[in-house]
Structure 1
Amino acid sequence: MLFDMDGTLVDSEQLWDVALQELAQTYGGTLSVAARRAIVGTGMADSMRILHEDLGQPHRDPAASAAWINARILELFRTGLQWRPGALALLAAVRAARIPTALVTSSGRALVEIALDTLGRDSFDVVVCGDEVDSTKPHPEPYLTAARLLDVPIERCVAIEDSATGVASAVAAGAAVLAVPAEVPLTPRDGVHQLESLLAADLELLAGLLTRAR
């Protein structure tokens, strides 16, 4: 099992909203709805590029903006991280069944370490962070890396995602995909099963996705 983090397991996208809008205000602007939606699921470099372009300030230093966001989001994660509906129960069922499990996220290691205080450090056999791969989602590398570290063929893995960027990464890697949109609606995609929430997901459904993929 390959789990995305932000918007999939934890309701963190609202915290990202706070940090991104605060940074935009610091720069004298407001992040548009379209740009915020485009940022969902992307790595930090792409997120800062989208933000700067949306504000009409492409000259901004992406490293400086990323450092500001990282510092602010660390504060927010320490105080406001909540589970998405059904996520805790599904993760617990997967672990009880002794299914190899990875967390595959575009967030950096420092942030993930804080999130693991909520998610549980023993909930995952492998953790792949956005700053530990050469190419982030929508590139397939994060999911291919997780499957390799789990020593499980990617074709035998189910990835759970909430964003178009994450879904594209998992599909490109060759995993079966369950999409559960959070902040941004997802366009239906052939071969990708979609649910309104993880409350409707169980081990039988996940096994069926693998059978269907074969």
Structure 2
Amino acid sequence: MFEAVLFDMDGLFIDSEPDWHAAESAMMRSNGYDWTPEDQLKCLGGPLPRVTQYMSECLQGSKSAEQLAQSIVAEMKKRMSGKVALMPGAIEFSRYLNQAAIPQALVSASPREIVDAVLLGMDEKYFAISVAAGDIARTKPFPDPYLHAAKLLEVDIEKCLIFEDSPTGLTAARASGAFVVGIPHLVDVPEEPRLKIVKSFLDIQRSHLDGWYSINQGELGRLS
């Protein structure tokens, strides 16, 4: 079986994309800009510096990326302080992994303040560790957060399973060397030998994990 399972946070484990959209829309509207679904799609998956730089450009530099980042982090921390909404089947799947003694990590491109607020608001959680933007020098789309998580868990990243939802996160996950399962929304993602797609955590059964592990072992043997 996989040595560890690593989860993205926003839009994958927690249902926070509506909050991000509402926070970003309100902030941009207060600065005289109509934030559209197309703008939101361009920012899907972050990381925050890329998002706020894009926002600053939309505002023609009237607000700096740093100013916008401070505002949106404060708003999202407020929104995430309390009970957070989880994606369907997420906690049940995490509970199963815990019962199977498979280590888990939450690996996010969101700042530590937001990640900690989310963790505090979860009634039930089984993450051995978490990694947030700022914990290391580079965040997603670089693979560094996932490599760092594997190092903290003392596991081989090639024998880990990563769940992601956004193009930014999937780029990071694939580059890490782990086996990847995408649960995408708003974007289409083609499958690859070590990248499989499901619609929801609700669709995952033990047979899927066994099958993915067998595929991963076979691909690693072929690549060695």
**When the two structures are superposed, what TM-score results if normalisation uses the length of structure 2?**
0.89
The answer as to 2:41 corresponding to 1:32 is no
Give the equivalent residue in structure 2 for 1:145. 148
Distance 1:99 1:139 in 2: 25
For residues 122-133 of structure 1, the aligned pairs below 5 Å read 123-133=126-136
Asked if the contact 1:164/1:186 (under 8 Å) is kept, the reply is no
Change (3 A) 1:206 1:38: farther
Give the equivalent residue in structure 2 for 1:105. 108
The answer as to 2:201 corresponding to 1:190 is no
Give the equivalent residue in structure 2 for 1:170. 173
Change (3 A) 1:39 1:66: same
Give the equivalent residue in structure 2 for 1:94. 97
Alignment coverage as a number of residue pairs: 212
Secondary structure (helix, strand or coil) at the match of 1:117 reads helix
Asked if the contact 2:81/2:120 (under 8 Å) is kept, the reply is no
Query: Which structure shows the higher strand fraction?
Result: 2
The answer as to 2:15 corresponding to 1:11 is yes
Secondary structure (helix, strand or coil) at the match of 2:13 reads coil
Asked if the contact 1:155/1:175 (under 8 Å) is kept, the reply is yes
Q: Which has the larger radius of gyration?
A: 2
Secondary structure (helix, strand or coil) at the match of 2:110 reads coil
Which amino acid counterpart does residue 33 of structure 2 have in structure 1? G
The answer as to 2:212 corresponding to 1:209 is yes
Give the equivalent residue in structure 1 for 2:160. 157
Displacement after TM superposition at 1:187 (Å): 2.4
Post-superposition Cα deviations, 1:166-197, rounded to whole Å, max 9, x if no partner, equal: 11100000011111123x22321423111111
Give the equivalent residue in structure 1 for 2:79. 76
Secondary structure (helix, strand or coil) at the match of 1:116 reads helix
Asked if the contact 2:84/2:122 (under 8 Å) is kept, the reply is no
Secondary structure (helix, strand or coil) at the match of 1:41 reads coil
- Percent identity of the aligned residues? 30
The answer as to 2:11 corresponding to 1:2 is no
Gaps of 5+ in 1: none
Post-superposition Cα deviations, 1:77-120, rounded to whole Å, max 9, x if no partner, equal: 12562110110100100111110111100111111111112445
Distance 2:124 2:66 in 1: 29
Secondary structure (helix, strand or coil) at the match of 1:85 reads coil
Distance 1:94 1:115 in 2: 20
Give the equivalent residue in structure 1 for 2:120. 117
Calculate the aligned-residue CA RMSD, in Å.
Answer: 1.7
> After the TM superposition, which of the residue ranges 198-207 and 94-103 deviates more from structure 2?
198-207
Which amino acid counterpart does residue 127 of structure 2 have in structure 1? F
Distance 1:197 1:186 in 2: 14
**When the two structures are superposed, what TM-score results if normalisation uses the length of structure 1?**
0.93
Identify which of 29, 35, 50 aligns with 2:54.
50
Which amino acid counterpart does residue 84 of structure 2 have in structure 1? L
Gaps of 5+ in 2: 218-224
